[in-house]
Amino acid sequence: MDAATERRFRDFVSARSPALMRLAYLLTGGDQHAAEDLLQTALARTLSRWSTVEEPEAYVRRVMYRQQVSWWRLGFRRNEAVVAALPERGAEDADVELRMLVRQALARLTAKQRAVLVLRYFEDLPEAEVAAALGCSVGTVRSTAHRSLAKLRVIAPELREPYTIFKEAQA
């Protein structure tokens, strides 16, 4: 790889890593370490094809979606238990509470359910694109999204409008 190509890749990584990390965090159900692994894996795969990639961010996102689904299908499990102990409360901040509630609720979904909801509502992708990214049918995306939203309503009834919670979580 020549110096100019390496510089372009480094510039891309430094500019887009925060947004890509947020996506990885949501896809992994709020597991910071798994999110870091997912992003690093996606960036490594992107680097190996960097000279042929036309839309780098779209490519990295697609690699992340597929890698997360692959880990889910293979039964990839961490031996650690994710525990979210809340610190002492400071000033009231509804946005922080909402984000924490959304993350906790997403963490209780399966990896497939979480991936469908994140892609469909957080990334605002059409059902056909979600199906293509996850390697399943549009009908599977629809039924999984429907069941996942129903489960979210049971898990966290205080989240009234599912589409709104994902837009709030983006902030």
Q: Half-sphere exposure of 40 toward its Cβ, with a 13 Å CA cutoff?
A: 6
82 in a domain, yes or no?
Answer: no
Query: What CATH number is associated with residue 136?
Result: 1.10.10.10
Domain closes at, from 23, 43, 73: 73
**Do 113 and 52 share a structural domain?**
no
Read off the tokens for 64.
């992340």
Look at residue 79 and tell me if it is in a domain.
no
How many domains does the chain fold into? 2
Q: How far apart are CA 72 and CA 111, in angstroms?
A: 6
What would the pLDDT profile of 82-141 be if each residue is shown by its tens digit?
556 655 555 455 567 777 888 888 888 888 899 999 889 888 889 999 998 888 999 999
Domain span holding position 16: 3-73
Q: What is the pTM of this model?
A: 0.53
Q: Each residue of 20-76: pLDDT tens digit?
A: 999 999 888 888 888 999 999 999 999 988 888 889 999 999 999 988 887 776 665
Residues 55 and 120 in one domain: no
